[in-house]
Amino acid sequence: MASVPKLEIERLRDHEEARICARFMADSEPWLTLARSYEVSLGLITDPTREVYVARKEGRPVGFVILVVTGAFVGYVQSIAVDPEWRGRGIGTRILAFAEERILQMSPNVFVCVSSFNPDALRLYRRLGYEIVGELPDYIVRGHSEILMRKTTGPLAEFGEGDDA
**8-113: which CATH number, 3.40.630.30, 3.40.250.10, 1.10.3720.10, 3.30.1490.20?**
3.40.630.30
- Write out the H or E segment, with its range, that includes residue 135: strand 131-137
Query: Beta-carbon neighbour count of residue 130 at 10 Å?
Result: 23
What is the torsional sign of CA 134, 136, 140, 143? positive
Q: Residue 3: what pLDDT?
A: 61
The residues spanned by each domain of the chain are 8-113
Average confidence (pLDDT) per 10 residues, the chain, 165 residues: 76 97 93 93 96 96 96 91 92 95 95 94 94 96 96 90 56
